[in-house]
Amino acid sequence: KPLLEIIDLHVSVANKEIIKGMDLQVNKGEVHVIFGPNGSGKSTLLNAIMHLPGYSIDDGEIRVKSQNIQEMSTDQIANLGIGMSFQHPPKIKGVTLRNFLGTINRSEDLEAEIRALSMDAFMERELNVGFSGGELKRAEILKLYAQSPDLLLIDEPESGVDIENIAIISKSINKILQEDRPMKMRERSAIIITHTGHILNYVQADIGHVFMDGRIVCTGNPQMIMDDIKKLGFSGCVACVKEQK
């Protein structure tokens, strides 16, 4: 049974329809990447899955582990095993990174990961307040590591981040995906939103999609889609796939 099923999903934000009937299925162990132009609704998709306020699901269905999540709160959805790292993480005054991680931690070796992500010096600071681009993303991935979800929703891990930080973040993503366990089937899954595709150099993705005009317009090998986008742009990639059909 699929981990996540999205069926004919329609989502509006501020009374504007952003997602216009999209379908997606993520099975256990699969890593999907979603490419797409700025403002096309990629973040809206992840925010809608998590039922964040302001994202109205007008039609269609989201199922997690075969359960319709329609009536569930964000907290209940997280407890089903979905974790999200934000493109623009909120700053929370009065809550330290250590306190925050303490409330969500399910991992066994968080201290080691704090060191691996060089976040030791940030543990007593207010969550995300004054963090640089790379520090924000490292804190987000540390949060995911603590949560250890079955499905990771990662929104633009490379945006505003230098190449060295992308490598560090990717290493943690691979640890959450348990890629270090030899000869074992991947147990966890991810949807990674990427604008640049840099993440493909570090994380083994299985399936790529282009999201445009409110829906997924093409699906295939992530690297091939990336190459198409580089040569032909997002719409060119769509045309390319259409021709093959």
At 15 the three-state DSSP class reads coil
- The answer to whether the Cα torsion of 147, 153, 131, 54 is positive or negative is negative
Residue 85 lies near ligand ADP (rule: CB under 6 A): no
Q: Which is nearer to ligand ADP, 34 or 141 (CB)?
A: 34
Binder of residue 41, out of ligand ADP, Mg ion, none (CB less than 5 to 8 A by kind) = ligand ADP
Strands 189-193 and 151-155: parallel
Find the part of the chain contacting Mg ion (CB under 5 A) among 16-24, 35-43, 180-188, 198-206. Answer: 35-43
Q: Which is nearer to ligand ADP, 36 or 157 (CB)?
A: 36
The residue count for binding ligand ADP (CB under 6 A) is 12
* Helical (H) or strand (E) element with 7: strand 4-13
User: C-beta of 210: minimal distance to ligand ADP in Å?
Assistant: 11
At 45 the three-state DSSP class reads helix
**DSSP class of residue 61?**
E
Residue 10 lies near ligand ADP (rule: CB under 6 A): no
Residue 43 lies near Mg ion (rule: CB under 5 A): yes
What is the Cα gyration radius of the chain? 18
Spatial CB neighbours of 92, under 8 Å, sequence gap ≥ 6: 100, 126, 127, 128, 129
Show the site string, 27-66: x = touches ligand ADP by CB under 6 A, - = not: ---------x-xxxxxxx---------x------------
Question: What separation in angstroms does the CA of 144 have from each of 47, 116, 117, 200?
Answer: 16, 14, 12, 19
User: C-beta of 160: minimal distance to Mg ion in Å?
Assistant: 11
User: C-beta of 190: minimal distance to Mg ion in Å?
Assistant: 16
Q: Name the site residues for Mg ion (rule: CB under 5 A).
A: 38, 42-43, 87
Q: Name the site residues for ligand ADP (rule: CB under 6 A).
A: 13-14, 18, 36, 38-44, 54
